[in-house]
A and B are shown apart, each in its own frame.
Chain A
Amino acid sequence: GQQVMQIPQYQHVQEGEDFTTYCNSSTTLSNIQWYKQRPGGHPVFLIQLVKSGEVKKQKRLTFQFGEAKKNSSLHITATQTTDVGTYFCAVKTQGGSEKLVFGKGTKLTVNP
């Protein structure tokens, strides 16, 4: 089935530093979604990327979809303590199913 590799698994930064997490697939993706899960909470949808080379911004968050639609990244500029959590990318399985397969996630901790 469809799999996506996500790195790094953990990232610890000082408040104000930047943060990036990456997702890679061996096959072309139709789209990719990003979710954030706060400690003890449930995943919350952040964004969906569909087009090749697409770049979307949400305040300090920048999401990119690769030209070949095989990789994606989430970049946070000047992290804040509120950014703490685990960031997951998720992709639909092949065959037209609506099932989402999640990457392993990147756990971000921010030192104030």
Chain B
Amino acid sequence: GAVVSQHPSWVICKSGTSVKIECRSLDFQATTMFWYRQFPKQSLMLMATSNEGSKATYEQGVEKDKFLINHASLTLSTLTVTSAHPEDSSFYICSALRGLSGSPLHFGNGTRLTVT
């Protein structure tokens, strides 16, 4: 099946620093990727849609200057959490759309970010 690789799996950083998370589709090209955020014991909240070669589309309430998304190629999207603060600590998961409209999403393993 389709494989989506997300790196790193976990990261601990100090408040004020920036963290970059990578999401790669290993065996298919993904023109569209999605970034979700999940708090403990809660559902997945869509943050933004990452489109290859164009600007990301952010959901309401998500700061685009805080969460920088770059979809530089058909197999790579990155999420950079800038000037991280403890409240940014969360589980970030990327997903990629493979194939036609209505196809299921393939998720990366997620990144657990802890900001101290």
Measured between alpha carbons, how far is A59 from B49 in the docked complex, in Å? Answer: 34
Binary interface profile of A, 92-112, with partner B (CB < 8 Å = 1, else 0)?
Answer: 100001111111110100000
Chain B residues in 8 Å Cβ range of A92: 102
When the two chains form the complex, which single residue of A45, A88, A98, A102 contacts B101, counting CB atoms closer than 8 Å?
A98
- Would you call B43 and A102 a contact (CB within 8 A)? yes
Measured between alpha carbons, how far is A50 from B44 in the docked complex, in Å? Answer: 22
Q: Which of A14-22, A36-44, A65-73, A76-84 contacts B (4 or more CB under 8 A)?
A: A36-44
Beyond A98-B32, A98-B97, A100-B34, whether A43 also contacts B102 by CB under 8 A is no
- Would you call B49 and A44 a contact (CB within 8 A)? no
| Contact surface of B with A, Cβ cutoff 8 Å | 32, 34, 41-44, 46, 49, 93, 95, 97, 101-102, 104-110
| Contact surface of A with B, Cβ cutoff 8 Å | 30-31, 33, 41-45, 48, 50, 88, 90, 92, 97-105, 107
Report A89 CB to chain B, min CB distance, Å: 10
Q: Which residue of B lies closest to A105 (CB)?
A: B43
When the two chains form the complex, which single residue of A48, A102, A107 contacts B44, counting CB atoms closer than 8 Å?
A102
Q: Which residue of B lies closest to A50 (CB)?
A: B102
Chain A residues in 8 Å Cβ range of B97: 98
Measured between alpha carbons, how far is A103 from B43 in the docked complex, in Å? Answer: 7
- Would you call A42 and B110 a contact (CB within 8 A)? yes
Q: Which residue of A lies closest to B4 (CB)?
A: A42
When the two chains form the complex, which single residue of B32, B34, B43, B93 contacts A104, counting CB atoms closer than 8 Å?
B43
When the two chains form the complex, which single residue of B95, B102, B108, B110 contacts A31, counting CB atoms closer than 8 Å?
B102
Report A9 CB to chain B, min CB distance, Å: 9
Report B62 CB to chain A, min CB distance, Å: 13
Chain B residues in 8 Å Cβ range of A45: 104-106
Interface centre among A45, A88, A97 (most CB of B within 10 A): A45
Q: Which residue of B lies closest to A96 (CB)?
A: B101
